[in-house]
Chain A
Amino acid sequence: MNADFSNGEVMNKNAQVIIDIKNLRKNFGSLEVLKGIDLQINKGEKVAIIGPSGSGKSTCLRCINQMETSSFGEIYFENDLITDCDPYLHDGIIRLSKTFNRLMNSGLDENCAIEKIKKERLLKKGEGRAFKLAKKEFEKNNKIDVNVARRKIGMVFQHFNLFNNLTVLQNLTLAPVLLKIKTKEDAEEKAVELLKRIGLEDKANVYPSTLSGGQKQRVAIIRALAMEPDVMLFDEPTSALDPEMVGEVLELMKDLANEGMTMVVVTHEMGFAREVASRIVFMNEGIIAEENNPEEFFTNPKNERLKEFLSKVL
Chain B
Amino acid sequence: MTEWEKFVKQFITLGGYKRVLDGLLATIEIAVFGLIIGIIIGTLIGIVKVMPKNNIFVKIIDKIFTVYVAFFRGTPMVVQLLLGHFIVLPLMKINVDAVIEAIVIFGMNSGAYVSEIMRGGINSVDKGQLEAGRAVGLGYWTAMFKIVIPQSIKNILPTLGNEFISLIKETSVVSFIAVTDLTRAFRQLGDATYSYLVPYLMLAAIYLVLVLLISWGVKAMERRFKKNER
Which residues does A use to contact B, with CB under 8 Å?
65, 67, 147-148, 150-151, 153-155, 157, 159, 161-166, 174-175, 178-179, 207, 209-210, 220, 223-224, 227
For chain B, residues 79 to 137, give those with C-beta under 8 angstroms from any C-beta of chain A.
Answer: 126, 128-129, 131-137
- Whether a CB of chain A sits under 8 angstroms from the CB of B151 is yes
- Whether a CB of chain A sits under 8 angstroms from the CB of B2 is no
Assess A157 versus B154: contact at CB under 8 Å? Given A164-B229, A165-B147.
no
Residues of A within 8 A of B150 (CB): 165
- State the CA gap A192–B131 with chains docked (Å): 24
Residues of A within 8 A of B147 (CB): 163, 165-166, 174
1/0 per residue, CB under 8 A from A, across B14-44: the answer is 0000000000000000000000000000000
Least distance between B100 CB and chain A CB atoms (Å)? 34
- State the CA gap A161–B134 with chains docked (Å): 11
- Whether a CB of chain A sits under 8 angstroms from the CB of B138 is yes
For chain B, residues 123 to 167, give those with C-beta under 8 angstroms from any C-beta of chain A.
Answer: 126, 128-129, 131-139, 142, 146-147, 150-151, 154
- State the CA gap A179–B128 with chains docked (Å): 20
Residues of A within 8 A of B128 (CB): 157, 159, 161
Residues of B within 8 A of A153 (CB): 135
Q: How many residues of B contact A (CB 8 A)?
A: 21
- Is there contact, CB below 8 Å, between B138 and A164? no
- Whether a CB of chain A sits under 8 angstroms from the CB of B75 is no
Select one of B129, B134, B151 contacting A67, CB under 8 A.
B134
**From A158, which residue of chain B is reached at the shortest CB distance?**
B128
Assess A162 versus B142: contact at CB under 8 Å? Given A151-B137, A179-B137, A207-B229.
no
- Is there contact, CB below 8 Å, between B136 and A175? yes
Residues of B within 8 A of A175 (CB): 133, 136-138
1/0 per residue, CB under 8 A from A, across B58-94: the answer is 0000000000000000000000000000000000000
Assess A147 versus B131: contact at CB under 8 Å? Given A164-B151, A207-B230.
no
| Inter-chain pairs besides A150-B135, A153-B135, A227-B136, 7 sampled, C-beta below 8 Å | A148-B137, A159-B126, A163-B146, A174-B147, A175-B136, A175-B138, A224-B136
**From A170, which residue of chain B is reached at the shortest CB distance?**
B146
- State the CA gap A154–B132 with chains docked (Å): 10
- Is there contact, CB below 8 Å, between A161 and B136? no
Least distance between B96 CB and chain A CB atoms (Å)? 38
Least distance between A237 CB and chain B CB atoms (Å)? 13
Total A-B Cβ pairs within 8 A: 71
Residues of B within 8 A of A164 (CB): 129, 151, 229
Some 5 contacts from A to B, beta carbons below 8 A apart, are A155-B132, A157-B132, A159-B128, A164-B129, A178-B146
Most buried by A among B129, B133, B137: B137
Most buried by A among B132, B150, B154: B132
- Whether a CB of chain A sits under 8 angstroms from the CB of B13 is no
Least distance between A171 CB and chain B CB atoms (Å)? 9
Assess A65 versus B129: contact at CB under 8 Å? Given A164-B229, A207-B230.
no
Residues of B within 8 A of A207 (CB): 228-230
Most buried by A among B139, B142, B154, B229: B229
- Is there contact, CB below 8 Å, between B136 and A223? yes
- State the CA gap A212–B133 with chains docked (Å): 21
- Is there contact, CB below 8 Å, between A165 and B131? no
Residues of A within 8 A of B134 (CB): 67, 147, 150
**From A223, which residue of chain B is reached at the shortest CB distance?**
B136
Least distance between A106 CB and chain B CB atoms (Å)? 35
- State the CA gap A165–B121 with chains docked (Å): 14
Residues of B within 8 A of A162 (CB): 132
Residues of A within 8 A of B138 (CB): 147, 174-175, 178-179
Give 6 nearest A-B pairs by CB, closest first.
A161-B132, A151-B137, A175-B136, A161-B128, A155-B135, A150-B137
Assess A150 versus B136: contact at CB under 8 Å? Given A161-B131, A165-B147, A210-B230.
yes
- State the CA gap A165–B116 with chains docked (Å): 22
Least distance between A69 CB and chain B CB atoms (Å)? 8
- Is there contact, CB below 8 Å, between B136 and A151? yes
Select one of A65, A147, A159 contacting B139, CB under 8 A.
A147
- Is there contact, CB below 8 Å, between B146 and A209? no
- State the CA gap A223–B128 with chains docked (Å): 15
Residues of B within 8 A of A227 (CB): 136-137
- Is there contact, CB below 8 Å, between A65 and B229? no
- Is there contact, CB below 8 Å, between B229 and A163? no
- State the CA gap A220–B132 with chains docked (Å): 9
Residues of A within 8 A of B129 (CB): 161, 163-164
Least distance between A193 CB and chain B CB atoms (Å)? 18
- State the CA gap A147–B135 with chains docked (Å): 8
- Is there contact, CB below 8 Å, between A165 and B154? yes
**From B152, which residue of chain A is reached at the shortest CB distance?**
A165
Least distance between B144 CB and chain A CB atoms (Å)? 12
**From B151, which residue of chain A is reached at the shortest CB distance?**
A165
Residues of A within 8 A of B228 (CB): 207
Least distance between B55 CB and chain A CB atoms (Å)? 12
